[in-house]
Chains A and B, each alone.
Chain A
Amino acid sequence: DQQVKQNSPSLSVQEGRISILNCDYTNSMFDYFLWYKKYPAEGPTFLISISSIKDKNEDGRFTVFLNKSAKHLSLHIVPSQPGDSAVYFCAASGRNTNAGKSTFGDGTTLTVKP
């Protein structure tokens, strides 16, 4: 049973527009969520996170929204830039998990067209 799901394998947007990447989770024990970004031939890098005590966290062009009742989070990128083209992984961890142990989604490939 996959506890973290990214239902859209790919997303294509025009440069300057908003990119919205979605993530759903099933385990109510998850209380911390992270987004990672991965370029080809590189490892994932941490992008932004949110604790379950918040419903929004913003860092420059990146904003993550958390809807606990729906067990849903989303990553908004505004404005999107060609350099944002990458695979984005959603990850979740919980109070009962070991440090650093996150459950990952399958990833969404974002393509930003110039």
Chain B
Amino acid sequence: EAQVTQNPRYLITVTGKKLTVTCSQNMNHEYMSWYRQDPGLGLRQIYYSMNVEVTDKGDVPEGYKVSRKEKRNFPLILESPSPNQTSLYFCASSLRENNSPLHFGNGTRLTVT
């Protein structure tokens, strides 16, 4: 089954404790991206990757890091989480071609206290 898998689904952590949210896709997609969803703000892009070892900032990259060492994986790293990073996070992937629809994971609900 074609899918984007995120882990964990739920995470509660404390300020400053480094964490990683994993994302993996099995569709051989070149493009991968991270979004956060906040009430009244829709889906905002954090980082994206056009291919292996190619990453770039989205609209709200502050406080986040990513890496793309393999085509299928695109982990999101919070080196020092803060309460304003409490949010619902989605990983997505698509073919490289323009206008290809995004395939989303089921989300990771992160709470930083």
Contact = CB atoms under 8 A, between A and B. Distances in A.
A73 to B, nearest CB: 15
Interface string B30-42: 1101010000111
Interface string A78-111: 0000000000010101010111111011110000
A49 interface: yes
Interface string B1-18: 000100000000000000
B66 to A, nearest CB: 15
A105 B42 contact: yes
Interface residues of B, number: 32
Interface residues of A, number: 28
B84 interface: no
A46 B100 CA distance: 10
B61 to A, nearest CB: 13
B96 interface: yes
Contact of B98 (A32, A44, A89, A91): A32
Given A32-B98, A43-B104, A49-B99, 14 more contacts: A4-B42, A36-B101, A41-B106, A42-B107, A43-B105, A44-B43, A46-B101, A93-B99, A95-B98, A98-B50, A98-B56, A99-B50, A99-B96, A100-B48
18 contacts: A32-B99, A43-B90, A43-B104, A43-B106, A44-B43, A44-B104, A46-B103, A49-B99, A51-B99, A98-B48, A99-B94, A99-B96, A100-B48, A100-B92, A100-B95, A100-B100, A101-B48, A104-B35
